[in-house]
Amino acid sequence: MPDTSKININSSGQANNTFDAIVIGSGISGGWAAKELCEKGMKTLVLERGRDVEHIKDYPTANLAPWELRHRGWITDEFQKENPLITRSSGFGEDTAHFFIKDSDHPYVQEKPFDWIRGYQVGGKSLTWGRACARWSPYDFTAPARYGYGQEWPIGYDDISSWYSHVEKFIGVCGSRDGIASMPDGEFLSAYELNAVEQHLQQVIKEKFNRHYVSGRWAHISEPQQIHLDQGRGQCMNRNLCMRGCPLGGYFSSVSSTLPWAKKTGNLTIRPFSVVHSIIYDETLGKATGVRVIDTNTKVETDYFARIIFMNASALNTNLILLNSTSKRFPNGLGNDSGTLGKAVCFHNYRGSMGGTVDGFLDKYYSSSKPVECIIANYRNVEKRDTDFVGGYTIYSGASRQRLSEKGIEPAIGAAYKDALCEPGGWTVYMYMQGETIAKDSNHVRLSTDKKDQWGIPLLVTSVGYDENDDLMVKDFLEQGKMMLEAAGVKNIHTNDNRQPPGLDIHEMGGVRMGKDPKTSMLNEWNQLHACKNVFVTDGACMTSTGNQSPSILYMAFTARAVNYAVEQMKKQQL
């Protein structure tokens, strides 16, 4: 524990540091916790370890042309050498580097290779996320128990469906209503149209494989509704510069949406530069009473107090904080009676990809560089097990026409060369997988016993890796994907298993899993710690299994549902 002589309780006393609720983290789920709590009248403190970011004001590259960037958007060899981890991240470039952290600033210990991608600022990774928002299906919640490869979820699709709708209406999710069992429909804005080659793929894959190639569900405002205009957000203009920060608010982030909405209530306080050391547990009261914070810059420690605490620091940081929150009652981490804290950490399998070329369609164009992709909904192990592996996978896909640099045009001068510049080349197609992985206790995180960060907090040790099930799933995707492309007439197909370390999917999950039995899980059906009822975990740490769909919108739905429950319990004096 820190030296309490350095702790600042504020000269005006504990009252000024007391709130109804504290939210740890300001990203996708933390922003939703703040919005829902503030709307319900709760005086809410949001703690963010990084700097402040304001919508529009703090998007320095949002409107820059490539030639206005010092290196035209490229990363220098020197920077890449100094930051081998973060420069491998999807979307990282000179134009987005301000929303990522340098490798040396926040170290951790990799017992097995694991690329932990982080964004420490108000808004967190909601500023740089992929924005895919497909719902889990009923099968995703039941598959681990049905097929015997994981723990049973304490809730099902029917418990979360209305909360999906609640979130979708507010953030704006475009998509098509397709009636697919493994990817339920939602409250969608108009979908992005498929281009000519994508329509061809859709037809062939449906006719020959009975699989669904459809427009994806994405957190982009394709047609603003009043609720979006009320947030000050506008229509997505298909600039495809999302990760720089969108001044239009065309895609959802907590900086453009939930946090400003919460602020309008007058109930929100955001404290950036606040590294959370631990949650304070009162042995006498038998509950958490507050949060111990270290100022990022001054390293002064301050305690803040609240009746309820929401953990939304992102999956691995939430594990770290709970592991570091020790007391006589919880010597192995807050709420860790089950001994499962930090265990069953999992991720999504992104190893497989492929692409090829398509003849014809040269009279077909498309009008914009859309920021969304098509999806082939999961077709493996849905209603019954039909493969030699467990779990399923979603496929992301798209088609486009080649640019000049890809057409093989030799540099030249004259009219013929300029005419060539105006014409696109042939069509290319790609696919890549997002696969479910098995949540198993051997994949875990823990605190280092001898290494600490610059604030005196133990470093996190990651011990997470692939297994045979992952290899079999990649093999199946590469075989099936190639078959689908060949059936559609795609040529020059190249397939790849990149064997990248876990983590680059940026979908780390688990460690504080939900479950029916307190002996084998950390959280109940309301995302509430079994053993410390006024602490809720609604970020990726809560996940019992990974499913095959992108998880962020599920975190948002979990958060809204948990806040509603927590406030009801507070009104009943149960918390």
Asked if the structure places residue 142 within a domain, the reply is: no
Helices 552-571 and 28-39, interaxial angle, to 10°? Answer: 30
The reported pTM is 0.95
- Separation in Å, CA 390 to CA 278, 474, 574: 37, 12, 41
The lowest-confidence range among 59-63, 196-200, 223-227, 361-365 is: 361-365
Instruction: Evaluate whether residue 224 is within a structural domain.
Output: no
pLDDT band at 408 (very low <50, low <70, confident <90, very high): low
Rounded Cα–Cα distance for residues 391 and 443 (Å): 17
Check whether residue 447 and residue 525 sit in a common domain: yes
Residue 277 has pLDDT above 70, yes or no: yes
The residues, ordered by sequence, that sit 6+ positions from 63 with a Cβ below 8 Å of its Cβ are: 247
58 and 85 housed in the same domain:
yes
- 6-15, 331-340, 359-368, 404-413, range with greatest mean pLDDT: 331-340
The mean of the pLDDT values for the chain is 94
- 181, part of any domain: no
Q: What pLDDT score does 4 carry?
A: 41
The number of beta carbons lying within 10 Å of the beta carbon of residue 249 is 25
Q: Which of 10-14, 235-239, 384-388 has the lowest mean pLDDT?
A: 10-14
Query: Residue 13: its pLDDT value, please?
Result: 58
> Is residue 559 predicted with pLDDT exceeding 90?
yes
In this model, does residue 5 exceed pLDDT 50? no
Q: Do 199 and 122 have their domain in common? A: no
What the block records as the tokens of 226 is 């009043």
Amino acid, res. 184? P
How large is the average pLDDT for residues 3-17? 57
Side-chain-facing half-sphere of 571: CA atoms under 13 Å = 9
Residue 164 lies in a domain: no
Q: CA 68 to CA 461: how far, in whole Å?
A: 40
The pLDDT tens digits for 518-530 are 999 999 999 999 9
pLDDT greater than 50 at residue 85: yes
Q: Are residues 446 and 534 in the same domain?
A: yes
Q: 497, 517, 538: which is the final residue of a domain?
A: 497
- Looking at the fold, whether 447 and 405 belong to one and the same domain comes out as no
- Clarify whether residues 8 and 126 are in a common domain: yes
> Do residues 560 and 549 both lie within one domain?
yes
C-alpha dihedral sign at 237, 239, 242, 245:
negative
At 496 the three-state DSSP class reads: strand
| Distance, CA of 63 to CA of 67 (rounded, Å) | 12
Residue 168 falls within a domain, yes or no?
Answer: no
Does residue 166 form part of some domain? Answer: no
Q: Reduced to 3 states, what is the DSSP secondary structure of residue 453?
A: coil
Q: Do residues 333 and 448 share a domain?
A: yes
Contact 357, 492 (CB under 8 A): yes
Asked, for residue 227, whether it belongs to a domain, the answer is: no
The residue type of 533 is K
235 has pLDDT over 70:
yes
Whether residue 509 is found in the same domain as residue 549: yes
pLDDT of the residue at 418: 73
In 172-227, beta strands by DSSP E: 213-215
Q: Are 429 and 201 in contact (CB under 8 A)?
A: yes
Please answer whether residues 55 and 71 qualify as being in contact, where contact means their C-beta atoms are separated by less than 8 angstroms: no
User: Is 154 a member of any domain?
Assistant: no
pLDDT in tens, 93-134: 999 999 999 999 999 999 999 999 999 999 999 999 999 999
In the block, residue with structure tokens 């467990």: 390
What pLDDT band is residue 180 in, cutting at 50, 70 and 90? very high
DSSP string of 376-440, one letter each residue: E---SSSSS--SSS-S-EEEEEEEEE--GGGTTPPP--SHHHHHHHTS---EEEEEEEEE-----
pLDDT for 3 equals 43
**Co-location of 371 and 456 in the same domain:** no
- Residue 1: what pLDDT? 42
CB 439 within 8 A of CB 359: no
Least confident of 19-23, 28-32, 33-37, 80-84: 80-84
> What CATH number is associated with residue 60?
3.50.50.60
| Residue-wise pLDDT tens digits, 281-315 | 999 999 999 999 999 999 999 999 999 999 999 99
| Residue 6: per-residue pLDDT | 47
74 and 121, same domain (yes or no) = yes
Structural domain count of the chain? 2
The answer, yes or no, to whether residue 366 has pLDDT greater than 90, is: no
> In percent, how much of the chain has pLDDT > 90?
91
Q: Identify the domain containing residue 457 by its residue range.
A: 4-132+238-348+441-465+504-571
Check whether residue 447 and residue 476 sit in a common domain. no
Statement: residue 567 has pLDDT above 50 = yes
Residue % of the chain over a pLDDT of 70: 96
Task: Please report the pLDDT score of residue 412 as a whole number.
Answer: 67
Of 440, 362, 429, nearest in space to 398 by CA = 429
Question: Is pLDDT at 319 greater than 60 in this prediction?
Answer: yes
More confident residue, 425 or 419: 425
Helix (H, G, I), strand (E, B) or coil at 142: helix
In the numeric block, which tokens belong to residue 164? Answer: 């999906």
DSSP β-ladder status, 287-295 and 301-311: antiparallel
Amino acid at 555: Y
